[in-house]
Chain A
Amino acid sequence: MFDVSIKVPGGDKITIPHFPIDMIASNERAKSFTTRSIKKDSKMDALLLATSMVDLTTLEGMDTPGKVKQLCGKAINPISPEIQQRMSKYDNFREVPKVAAICVYPSMVPYAAEALAGSGVQLASVATAFPAGQLPLDIKVADVKRAVKFGATEIDMVIDRGAFHCGKYQKVFDEIIKVKEACGDAHLKVILETGELKTYDKVRLASWLAMEAGADFIKTSTGKVSPAATMPVTHVMLQAIADYYDYSGKKIGMKPAGGIKTSKQAIHYLCMVNETLGPDWLTPDLFRFGASSLLNDLLKQVFKQVTGQYYYDDMFSLD
């Protein structure tokens, strides 16, 4: 394998390491995280932590301002007062936290910003011609600037996978730099779309490229391509984050997105983060779940932990 040489702004060159990843071992290692037994108090801690890490997402062609507002309401108060009251009668009741962020398309940002004002829930907007990323750079940058202007505090950008597969790593790198500039104070999450990168070697290379270019978070997928987030691919990215921290001292966040639907899966991911990066990363500032239906399952399991009862699937709002 050949390391990749990249020119950074200012003219200096840096090296992006590119080396083979043992696929079999990665898969085995990722699988091993699913065998932890998390019960009782630890389970409750994990469920509430996972809830606070959810980027509640709606990225559909038929999103409406009404739907986005309703989702924002759910982000701020994940459970209804009636259910809260029911649970509060039990000794082991604990407050259910707000989710970390709402994730919407740029056109929905103004509505979400209004609905989330003062709540402390972050507003993430996908941008840069999500999900394909196949538009000229000036339009991508304008897309980002507009989203930030209307109130997005986090930007989820996609890399140009076409360029990446052609070996135009410099182009991918430069785009991330430009988008990072356009973000201003907003946090930047870089979506690698690992389902299209095909191999773990490429995932590792893209992760490092994104981190060197200034990503605050690296994110697996758009959710529009299958496979989306898997445990092995997330593990490769987490390991890249760990190595990058040793190398540069910077803590980069991780966001697996797409396909994480159950509390059980979420707890497996938390175990993986804890054992790969350590407890410092077990915070919404450094780890997120990009999900929509996961939240309801988390809430259902919280309800079960508190009351001992399995409740209706649609006890919580349908989104």
Chain B
Amino acid sequence: MNLAVLKTVKMYVGGAFIRSESGATAPFYKKGTKEEIARVCVASRKDFRNAVVAAKAGEKSWSTKTAYNRSQILYRMAEMSQGKQDELVNLLKDTMGMTPAAALKEVTAAIDTFVYYAGWCDKYQQVLGAVNPVAAPYHNFTSPEHMGVIVHIDSNSFSLAKLVDNICAILVGGNSVVSIVSPECSPVVTTLGEIFETSDLPPSVVNLLSGDYKSILSIISEHMEVKGISFQNEDKAEYYELRSKSVDNMKRIIPNKLDTRQSLDLVLDFVEQKTVWHPIGY
């Protein structure tokens, strides 16, 4: 007998699966129907605040890991998501109404994306960094470094592979992430959280919230601990609101790159270039 249990999709913050502190949830309907198949948590302003506090702690443990270890952990995510392949495929079929073939394609692309970025962790610094010629007796190096807490606002057009792509690109550089996943994608939040939780990723490095980012847009843009925002939406008005309200700490706001997948450009978006002058000894 197959008993359908109505699920509550919890959020993943600070290495724990939590409900919204406000208690707010929203029904999630199977795509194209009025059949309620899950309740999703709706993150509040305080949930966001708590997630940033967690991410700030996660940033320390993640950015100080060796690049090689970060690679291993991202690769482990691919392993764990492959273990959950059937679960993810079923989830996409049941909640998004995808065909089995399309769901499998999506999940396979997501797993491939983990592997792609796992490869970059210990290589991006060589590729994006440089030894600069200078007209003085100095070595002059530029190397990319992590920025800090990056907020990722997910696209409204659902794609698991793209969600994974955006999060991993931010992780590669050593940043921590607060990702606000759109209501359309929220059923995958718990499963994705489970993948992060079981892949040796330190708790708090990735924090997944679900719900409506619009109600907390100004809080996000004015929060001084947030160093960058990956805004994966088309809405120009919201983009300019984010920009204008975040001038206080000059956040880097990257507008949507809907077609860019598996690219070093996405890693480059959230690293700071640091240049060092070192005297040449004689």
The interface of chain A, by Cβ under 8 A from chain B, is 308-313, 315
Contact B225 A313 (CB under 8 A): yes
Report B164-222 residues with CB < 8 Å from chain A CB: 219, 222
Contact A309 B223 (CB under 8 A): yes
Neighbouring A residues of B249 by C-beta, 8 Å: 312
Contact A310 B56 (CB under 8 A): no
The answer to the question of B26 belonging to the interface, with a C-beta cut-off of 8 Å to chain A, is: no
Neighbouring B residues of A313 by C-beta, 8 Å: 56, 225
The residue of chain A having its C-beta at the shortest distance from the C-beta of B223 within the complex is A310
Chain A nearest Cβ from B204, distance in angstroms: 14
Chain A nearest Cβ from B225, distance in angstroms: 6
Q: How far is the CA of A77 from the CA of B84 in the complex (A)?
A: 55
Chain A nearest Cβ from B41, distance in angstroms: 21
Q: How far is the CA of A271 from the CA of B225 in the complex (A)?
A: 30
4 smallest beta-carbon distances between A and B, as pairs? A310-B223, A309-B222, A311-B224, A312-B224
Q: How far is the CA of A207 from the CA of B248 in the complex (A)?
A: 50
The residue of chain A having its C-beta at the shortest distance from the C-beta of B245 within the complex is A309
Chain A nearest Cβ from B262, distance in angstroms: 34
Q: How far is the CA of A313 from the CA of B219 in the complex (A)?
A: 16
The residue of chain B having its C-beta at the shortest distance from the C-beta of A308 within the complex is B222
The interface of chain B, by Cβ under 8 A from chain A, is 49, 52, 56, 219, 222-225, 248-249
Q: What is the total of A-B residue contacts with beta carbons within 8 Å?
A: 20
Neighbouring A residues of B49 by C-beta, 8 Å: 310
Q: How far is the CA of A311 from the CA of B222 in the complex (A)?
A: 8
Residue picked from B223, B224, B248, most chain A C-beta under 10 Å: B224
Can you offer 20 A-B residue contacts whose CB atoms are under 8 A? Answer: A308-B222, A309-B222, A309-B223, A309-B224, A309-B248, A310-B49, A310-B52, A310-B219, A310-B222, A310-B223, A310-B224, A310-B225, A311-B224, A311-B225, A312-B224, A312-B225, A312-B249, A313-B56, A313-B225, A315-B224
Neighbouring A residues of B224 by C-beta, 8 Å: 309-312, 315
Neighbouring A residues of B248 by C-beta, 8 Å: 309
The residue of chain A having its C-beta at the shortest distance from the C-beta of B53 within the complex is A313
Q: How far is the CA of A309 from the CA of B221 in the complex (A)?
A: 10
Q: How far is the CA of A313 from the CA of B222 in the complex (A)?
A: 14
Chain A nearest Cβ from B60, distance in angstroms: 11
Chain A nearest Cβ from B109, distance in angstroms: 36
Chain B nearest Cβ from A159, distance in angstroms: 36
Neighbouring B residues of A309 by C-beta, 8 Å: 222-224, 248
Neighbouring A residues of B219 by C-beta, 8 Å: 310
Q: How far is the CA of A47 from the CA of B248 in the complex (A)?
A: 25
The residue of chain B having its C-beta at the shortest distance from the C-beta of A310 within the complex is B223
Chain A nearest Cβ from B187, distance in angstroms: 29
Neighbouring B residues of A315 by C-beta, 8 Å: 224
Chain A nearest Cβ from B86, distance in angstroms: 41
The residue of chain B having its C-beta at the shortest distance from the C-beta of A309 within the complex is B222
Q: How far is the CA of A310 from the CA of B221 in the complex (A)?
A: 10
Chain B nearest Cβ from A25, distance in angstroms: 27
Chain A nearest Cβ from B125, distance in angstroms: 26
Chain A nearest Cβ from B189, distance in angstroms: 23
Neighbouring B residues of A308 by C-beta, 8 Å: 222
Chain A nearest Cβ from B127, distance in angstroms: 31
Chain A nearest Cβ from B178, distance in angstroms: 12
